[in-house]
Structure 1
Amino acid sequence: MNLNFGISKEVLVALNTTKNIAKLQEIGGVQALAGLLNTNIRTGLGLNEKISEYKQRSLTYGSNTRPRAKPKRFLSHVLSVLRDDMMIVLMVRYEPIGIYIAVFCVTIIVSAANWHKERQFRFLNELKEDVTSKVIRNGETERISSSHVQVGDIIRLDQGDMIPADCVFIEGFHLTIFEPNMTGTDAFIQKDYSQPFLSSGSQVVDGTATAIVTAVGRNTQSNSTRVLIEQEKVKFTPLQIRLEKVSRDIGKIGIVFAIFIFITLCLKYIFINSISPSEVFHTDTFGVIFRYLTFSITIVVVAIPEGLPVALSISLSHSIKAMLKDNNLVRNLEACEKMACTTLILSDKTGVLTTSKMTVAEAWIAGTKYDQIPHPSQLDHDVLNILADGIAINSKAHLGVNTIDGTPVSIGNKVDCALLQMLVKNFEIDYNRIRAGSDCDLVQMFTFSPERKRMSAVVRWDVENQYRIYTKGAAEVVLELCNRYMNHQGEAITMQQQDRQLMMLHINIMSRKGLKPLLLAFNDFELQGNNNFYDLEHPPEDELIMVGIMGIKDPIRPDVIEALQKCKNASMNVVMVTGDNLQTAVSVGTDAGIYLDTDHVALEAQQLRDYNEQQREEMLPRLKIVARATPSDKQLLVEYYKKLKHIVGVTGDDARDVHALKDAHVGLSMGSGTDAAKESSDIVILDDDFSSIAKAALWGRSIFENVRKFLQFQITANAVALILTFVGCVSDKEFPLTASQLLWINIIADVLGASALATEPPSDDLMKRRPQFAYASLITNTMLKNIIAQTVYQLTLLLCLLFGHEQLFGQPDPENDWSYKKHKNDFTLVFNSFVFCQLFNMFNCRRINNEFNIVQNIHKSYLFIIVWIFCLVVQVVLVEAGWLLGFETTGLSFLEWFVCIVFGSLTLTLGFAMRVIPVPKRDLLTYIKSPKFYIERFKRRSNG
């Protein structure tokens, strides 16, 4: 289809930039603008364009995608690694070729890890920034990705929405937006016909509206000021900072070892060969010294545990992707670590502990109680009409159909959707017909707020100054505003005290059943004098006529009881914070397993506010339910619990929850929540299910656990390599491990070890422990025991092989050339045994808390298996054919291979033995202070 648009992209961009109302009026206003864009302000874009997927519109006005910096290519990562000073020094060595092969392998593997990590985080950033928008297309309201919004789309805006593109206000009520990117202030701005221009990226604070999109993507005003999108700023998490510090500290020890080894080797060579000062710079001597320098630099490369930060990055990227499969979209990396420390969750009820699939279960309508929704024939005609009009008009919800699979979808408030479902399915009434009817001239709408606990809509009758208000909300709250009720004949009857008590009885009965009682009321009134209804700040919600009370059922999620039990086992307290009344909250809390013990406390938020500080501190540890709570109450709870040293996670789905989400240690927004809540949160729970929160805590603990696994593995490998090399250099063995061999060991102990251990799937046992303290020691006493034991065993073994090879395997036969070559390099056996010790110790490090089953769930650790087999195959090739690659190795006999494997596997036996040896509860490393600490203490004592 060929469309002819009556306005150019440049004119629209200029209109948005200048916000020129006169220019808009010159065009003919919003109605004429819609015509120029081939759209309709009521029905939106037509079906004829949908078939072609709006291609011509996108070509003309652009797509709603954010310009991004180009990702680094793989070659760029390779060059970054090769720019390292130590790599450059290693590459200038001219012998043997093995050093080049080792450097090549290190470069490729590290570059691949960095490239993959960047791709993972980039993908997650794109998911994080993708929000949905409500648009009207072909007369139906649809929820689509904001990236699919087109110029000419009619969008619906509600409280908490993020405006996806530049647009112009069509109509609405009390539309208030927050646009700090444009104004640079925290002020809220009222938008209406006098200020119709809305900017992309702004947030709807209050009210509702429809608007027509006039610019998308890089043509919006917020993006036009951004000539080049910066690369995402790198923000280090606390654990990353700690690991960087540990890496630097261990690296300093490695540098000291390297310097000492270099000096020792040089002095040995000079004294043994009687080198005079004048001969030091001789070509042969200089070559030997340069070889020693290269070897010492290799020691530094091996000693610096660059794998620690890499391990955390790999663990984070792997865990975040896995968390996405568990319906957790991580927006803030730090939140993953904090979930491991979380001690308390402030959880909403609706949609988190319950399914949010609401239905009307029972009703009290026009003086009659119904245990189920009545048939329309059971209701008076006038009662049914007023009930249907109030439900249809006093709502912004919609029932639609998924355009992809044809399944029904509910857009908007779930309570409103439940009432609309009742109209459509039970009463067979078309709510759209009511909204479009001539009797429905909607002049004002007062949206729901947790403080008012009700919402109202006002329509104008044909008679001058005659209006009707429809109100619905929390039953006991709206009941206080009613002085009449409709009886079964449709008559308005004055409400007596006994009538009010009877209605409260029905409300309490519904509440005790776990239902949400919702009262619907109306009233007719006149607007006296010259008053304009738009000037009224508060709705005339007094002297209402009650129509009925609906008992809304919201079932508990089937897996929430198990998830809550897991949190209890993990010492994570859960407090339910809800806007429902206390009886409904206690009923749901009891069924869910939150409110069980007689010692538990359930109260209304007002009672909590009335407590003094001492009473509050005594009560908070026992608190389980807070009813009739507002978002500000939730924010206060976060503050109270933080004062008690809790690590607090809080759930939220509303724009008003923004402050609580930001103030908490971990903000958990709901996938069905508002854009504002998601923007302010750290993790988005895509399925709104509490069990996903428990999974997020499990993955958070798993990240910390996996880093510790790798830390134990790497420290052991590095300690053995450094001490073995040091002993060899001060003795007559010189190089027990060559530079190229050390680089291969470094690959195993760094990137490959990180890939194998940092991607381990979480164990359910993690949710049977107390939360990790944020700055708990990275090395536990159990880890320290294992590191010391493995280091002592491996060093003893390798030193015996190094110095007792001839006693174990006999003297080489000089007459036998092959035998002589096999034994020419005794160090091959040491090198091979060392690697096999690390490969078997990798299994030990899978379980670092004295668990005996070290192969538990190994079938799920596919990367561990791949890495382990890869290392094994490469090691065999390096030993048997390494001399072809310049690795200075010789093939081993069957007996020598058997010895290497047996000695390596003995690390498993040692690991099992160490699991039965107890350790002190207090971390031993807390007793170890830095040299600076002792120097400062000495100075203080010296000064008296």
Structure 2
Amino acid sequence: MSQKYGLTTQEAEASRAQYGRNELSRPPKETFWQKFAANLKDPMIRILTAALVINIIFVYTGHGDWLETVGIFLAILLATLVSTYSEYANENAFQKLQEEASRIFCKVYRDGEPQEVSITDIVKGDAIILQAGDKVPADGVMLAGALKVDQSVLNGESEEAPKMPGDPALALDPEKVDFLQTYAIYRGSVVLEGEGIMRADCIGDLSVYGKLTQELKDNERESPLKHKLRILAAVISRIGYLGGVFIALAVMIHKMLQAPSLGAYLSSGGALVQDLVQAVILGVIIIVMAVPEGLPLMVALVSSLNMRKMLRDNVLVRKLVGIETAGSLNLLFTDKTGTITKGKLTVVTFLAGDGTVYTEFKSLPETLRKATYANCVINTSAAVNDEGKIIGGNMTETALSAYMEGYKTDLGVTRTHFVPFNSTNKYSWAHVTGAYDLCLVKGAPEKLLPAADQYLDAEGKKAVLTGDMKKSLDETMVGYAKDSIRMLGLFIREGVIAGEKVPQNGLILVGIVGIRDDVRPEAVKAIKEVQRAGVQVVMITGDRRETAMAIARDAGILKEATDIVWTSDELSRLSDQQVRESLRHLRVVARALPMDKSRLVRIGQEMGLVVGMTGDGVNDSPALKKADVGFAMGSGTEVAKEAGDIVILDDNFLSIKQAILYGRTIYNSICRFIVFQLSINFSAVAINLLAPFLGIEKPLTIIQILWINLIMDTLAALAFGGEPALDRYLEEAPKERSAPIVSLTMLTKIILGGAYTTLLSLLLFLWGPLTNLFRPQTEALPLYTGFFCTYVFLAVMNAFNVRVDSVNLFDHITKNKGFIEINVMIILIQVIMTYVGGRVLRVVPLTLGEWGTVLLLSLSIIVVGTLFKIIAKNH
């Protein structure tokens, strides 16, 4: 395709100035204040607003405290503002990463040469090069080539639509859409086969896709992590609501039983109203403290913080569900080329029909060089420039281009028909006329060699290819395959081929090219670590069995005598039940077809496994979409990237390992935050539940609880969200789909931390030696302030307990310096609040001795936590 198409740089700039860029209008973004209004409808805020209204009523009737009422109002406002800001900022950051993830590039002719540009840089009049796997970037008219496209995203029809050149004078009318018109091609269509050139006529919102884009929404599936968190939140919320109602009723019954007589109490008016207010407020406090409203924010913060780290490790998250699920993977189907191997293919040998081996292109006889060159530059889906160099081809075509570097000859032929490579036939062919009338055929030797009965000798003459010669070539190829060399056969056939399939006879062998792709050393280590993490790795490749087995052994995938290797043919002969019985021993699928991937994903999921799949081609997209985590390769087609959840920018298995590690890091960080937050919730509920019956009047006010929630949800989420990805997480077994997120160990830690905090808090009020440390003889406020500060400090110290499983509280702390900074900030804010909070927070300044008592009491939880870790480790 060296014809002159397209625009000059100046013409492109003029077109952009006149018609604009190829951008789609974005749906209206929710503003900060719209989010703020939506957050005011949150169930927790509604409950607090109801409490505020009740307080206002009682203030006006002379039974309430106006300062507490103002405090509740400010706390609601502050809590809503903070959660809105966090959500708004996080979404903006995530959207920027999403935009980066969704950037699509395509090839256009500018100044007569193929260039790669962003889809948004396409202008009206551009000549766009289309190849298999591309997504059509604009509406327009076909100028050259032949394509088969999938238009189902536009018209719902799954049948392939052929597209052929039309009259260049034609221009698409954006108001008249005809999907059946063969020369008309529309944005959003997927190129399944062939290559061609189109002219962009309707760009941006004027395209059919642009008009439909508001209706095209991708409903994100729920990850196992979110599913578990939703169930946990629902259970705790239910307990909280029931607890709130129970405590309100229990307090009222307790007050009634304490009264001299029921009748006198019910007719007391002011006392009854006051008790009712206190009971309702206490019920609200129980609900507010029980419901873990910080969890959604925690998930968003942790995911957002880790997305930036992952980007540095060449892992680009398109959908959060992908990285949330990656940590739970226990079955991973991976491609070979570029992922396990280096992806830098090199032609290392040329095997002629008579068995002669040539190591360099320049050592080939001229006739074989010319025939090889013709097959490579004409029988291709890639673009070829005026120097005969392949532009934008796949790895194999790039390797062949490098092999022939510097060679160019006038072939004197024109391509009249081309059938592109597909994974079913495993070959491509092109018909040429002019100096020769023949077909150039290129593909898998084991598919094509049986159809060859002649070969080209060193002088370019046809010679008979006997059965013994074929057998000898086969034996040589098996030897190559065992050395991880894959083969590509080059053939010619005189005349034209009827239909699209190559006949089973009449081929003339030009030669067999041996291509090596060495295993990445870092991939070997990464595979070992992923296997140690309990993830079964299965390599799926189009290579022949011997080559696939050799590479799988080198990579450490194929190791045991019980390991299974299937070819696509063998797999197709097995029933689903037979596959299920052997799937856990499967290690390699050779000569694989795209439908094999989808089938294996489905069977794995039916077995309850969390399945990951890598892919780069248009045919991989169904399996990528179907898998629990789809890993698209950065060098792959745009369709594959769109179908995937995560894009591996460097196509390296090491980056897949990093994605799994980050998935587990997120899971671990969230689990630690759950232990931290539920310990606080458990203790706050228990303290407020027991206090009325122990003669302690309102140990925590609504404002104090909102303050605790504010600092413990937002700031603590940031602290735990910054935890590093530790390799030891890969030593843990993958979490089962059905396993609850709160394990027995976590539950023990929650109960221990919550119970100790509850016990120490109650002792402050009930045990003289402790009570006397906070001036109880003068007034009650120092004691209540001491309790409030001790409670917050206990939570901070327990955060250090929860952060690590080891007794060394500062283990890997240098990798999350923010943890110490944030917790120190919480302590400082708490200290400041005792001096400025006054009646709103129900606090007074403490003496130096009282602060020392608060610090010593709070540090005691570290001793308890450390003892628990030692006992747990020894048992």
Q: Tell me whether 1:896 sits opposite 2:850 in the alignment.
A: yes
Q: Distance in 2 between matches of 1:510 and 1:267?
A: 87
Q: Tell me whether 1:871 sits opposite 2:826 in the alignment.
A: yes
Post-superposition CA distance 1:801-830 (Å, at most 9, x none): 11235665368498xxxxx46x64411111
The residue aligned with 1:928 is none
Secondary structure at the residue paired with 2:698? coil
Post-superposition CA distance 1:897-919 (Å, at most 9, x none): 11211221221221121123349
Deviation for aligned residue 1:170: 0.9
Superposition map of 1:731-750 within 5 A: 731-750=694-713
Q: Distance in 1 between matches of 2:215 and 2:95?
A: 14
- Residue 396 of structure 2 aligns with an amino acid whose one-letter code is V
Q: Distance in 2 between matches of 1:384 and 1:524?
A: 18
Q: 1:538 to 1:609 in 2, by over 3 A?
A: closer
Q: 1:920 to 1:653 in 2, by over 3 A?
A: farther
- Residue 148 of structure 2 aligns with an amino acid whose one-letter code is T
The residue aligned with 1:789 is 752
Superposition map of 1:599-638 within 5 A: 599-611=562-574, 616-617=579-580, 619-638=582-601
The residue aligned with 1:183 is 155
Q: Distance in 2 between matches of 1:232 and 1:489?
A: 60
The residue aligned with 1:496 is 466
Q: Distance in 1 between matches of 2:548 and 2:473?
A: 19
- Residue 650 of structure 1 aligns with an amino acid whose one-letter code is M
Secondary structure at the residue paired with 1:155? strand
Q: Distance in 2 between matches of 1:232 and 1:625?
A: 33
Post-superposition CA distance 1:15-54 (Å, at most 9, x none): xxxxxxxxxxxxxxxxxxxxxxxxx9733221335xxxx4
Q: Tell me whether 1:67 sits opposite 2:39 in the alignment.
A: no
Q: Distance in 1 between matches of 2:230 and 2:581?
A: 41
Post-superposition CA distance 1:388-409 (Å, at most 9, x none): 22221112335889xxxxxx99
Percent of pairs with identical residues: 27
The residue aligned with 2:7 is 45
The residue aligned with 2:85 is 112
Superposition map of 1:654-673 within 5 A: 654-673=617-636
Instruction: Tell me, yes or no, if the aligned pair for 1:398 and 1:417 is still in contact at 8 Å.
Output: no
Deviation for aligned residue 1:513: 1.6
Match of 2:210 among 223, 238, 242: 223
The residue aligned with 1:89 is 50
Q: Distance in 1 between matches of 2:587 and 2:694?
A: 68
The residue aligned with 2:487 is 517
Post-superposition CA distance 1:527-551 (Å, at most 9, x none): 6xxxxx8x73434674222222211
Q: Tell me whether 1:907 sits opposite 2:849 in the alignment.
A: no
Secondary structure at the residue paired with 2:187? coil
Q: 1:685 to 1:623 in 2, by over 3 A?
A: same
Q: Distance in 2 between matches of 1:785 and 1:244?
A: 21
Q: How many residues align?
A: 840
Instruction: Tell me, yes or no, if the aligned pair for 1:366 and 1:488 is still in contact at 8 Å.
Output: no
Instruction: Tell me, yes or no, if the aligned pair for 2:223 and 2:325 is still in contact at 8 Å.
Output: no
The residue aligned with 1:838 is 795
Deviation for aligned residue 1:142: 2.3
The residue aligned with 2:177 is none
Q: Distance in 2 between matches of 1:800 and 1:674?
A: 66
Deviation for aligned residue 1:210: 0.9
- Residue 881 of structure 1 aligns with an amino acid whose one-letter code is V
Q: Tell me whether 1:559 sits opposite 2:522 in the alignment.
A: yes
The residue aligned with 1:421 is 402
Match of 1:474 among 397, 421, 444: 444
Instruction: Tell me, yes or no, if the aligned pair for 1:41 and 1:154 is still in contact at 8 Å.
Output: no
Instruction: Tell me, yes or no, if the aligned pair for 1:251 and 1:305 is still in contact at 8 Å.
Output: yes
Instruction: Tell me, yes or no, if the aligned pair for 1:454 and 1:472 is still in contact at 8 Å.
Output: yes
Computed over aligned residues only, the root mean square deviation of the Cα atoms, in angstroms, reads: 3.1
Unaligned runs of 5+ residues in structure 2 are 56-65, 167-180
Instruction: Tell me, yes or no, if the aligned pair for 2:128 and 2:199 is still in contact at 8 Å.
Output: yes
Deviation for aligned residue 1:224: 2.5
The residue aligned with 2:421 is 448
Q: Tell me whether 1:248 sits opposite 2:234 in the alignment.
A: yes
Deviation for aligned residue 1:771: 0.9
Under a length normalisation based on structure 1, what TM-score does the superposition of the two structures give? 0.83
Secondary structure at the residue paired with 1:205? strand
- Residue 146 of structure 1 aligns with an amino acid whose one-letter code is I
Instruction: Tell me, yes or no, if the aligned pair for 2:323 and 2:659 is still in contact at 8 Å.
Output: yes
Secondary structure at the residue paired with 1:214? strand
Q: Distance in 2 between matches of 1:900 and 1:303?
A: 25
Q: Tell me whether 1:828 sits opposite 2:785 in the alignment.
A: yes
The residue aligned with 1:856 is 811
Instruction: Tell me, yes or no, if the aligned pair for 1:701 and 1:772 is still in contact at 8 Å.
Output: no
Deviation for aligned residue 1:488: 1.8
Secondary structure at the residue paired with 1:545? strand
The residue aligned with 1:17 is none
Instruction: Tell me, yes or no, if the aligned pair for 2:317 and 2:647 is still in contact at 8 Å.
Output: yes
The residue aligned with 1:19 is none
Instruction: Tell me, yes or no, if the aligned pair for 1:179 and 1:203 is still in contact at 8 Å.
Output: yes
Superposition map of 1:399-438 within 5 A: 411-424=392-405, 428-430=406-408
Q: Distance in 2 between matches of 1:77 and 1:774?
A: 33
Deviation for aligned residue 1:171: 1.4
The residue aligned with 1:387 is 372
- Residue 423 of structure 1 aligns with an amino acid whose one-letter code is M
Superposition map of 1:151-550 within 5 A: 151-173=124-146, 175-192=147-164, 193=166, 195-225=182-212, 236-263=222-249, 286=273, 289-290=276-277, 293-365=280-352, 367=354, 369-370=356-357, 372-375=359-362, 378-398=363-383, 411-424=392-405, 428-430=406-408, 439-461=412-434, 467-525=437-495, 536-539=499-502, 542-550=505-513
Post-superposition CA distance 1:411-442 (Å, at most 9, x none): 12211111111222xxx124xx75xx6x2311
Q: Tell me whether 1:78 sits opposite 2:48 in the alignment.
A: no
- Residue 823 of structure 2 aligns with an amino acid whose one-letter code is W
Q: Distance in 2 between matches of 1:360 and 1:276?
A: 100
Instruction: Tell me, yes or no, if the aligned pair for 1:265 and 1:734 is still in contact at 8 Å.
Output: no
Instruction: Tell me, yes or no, if the aligned pair for 2:367 and 2:460 is still in contact at 8 Å.
Output: yes
Deviation for aligned residue 1:245: 3.5
The residue aligned with 1:925 is none
Q: Distance in 2 between matches of 1:101 and 1:273?
A: 39
- Residue 407 of structure 2 aligns with an amino acid whose one-letter code is I
Instruction: Tell me, yes or no, if the aligned pair for 1:638 and 1:660 is still in contact at 8 Å.
Output: yes
Post-superposition CA distance 1:39-88 (Å, at most 9, x none): x9733221335xxxx44322322221221123222233333333432343
Q: Distance in 2 between matches of 1:329 and 1:409?
A: 29
Q: Distance in 2 between matches of 1:666 and 1:894?
A: 55
Q: Distance in 2 between matches of 1:122 and 1:844?
A: 35
Q: Distance in 1 between matches of 2:706 and 2:841?
A: 10
Post-superposition CA distance 1:127-173 (Å, at most 9, x none): 44332212222222222221222111111111121111111111113
Q: 1:73 to 1:873 in 2, by over 3 A?
A: farther
Superposition map of 1:133-144 within 5 A: 133-144=106-117
Q: 1:512 to 1:287 in 2, by over 3 A?
A: same
Superposition map of 1:670-685 within 5 A: 670-685=633-648
Instruction: Tell me, yes or no, if the aligned pair for 1:261 and 1:729 is still in contact at 8 Å.
Output: no
Q: 1:777 to 1:540 in 2, by over 3 A?
A: closer
Q: Distance in 2 between matches of 1:397 and 1:231?
A: 33
Q: 1:855 to 1:144 in 2, by over 3 A?
A: farther
Deviation for aligned residue 1:839: 0.1
Q: Tell me whether 1:799 sits opposite 2:762 in the alignment.
A: yes
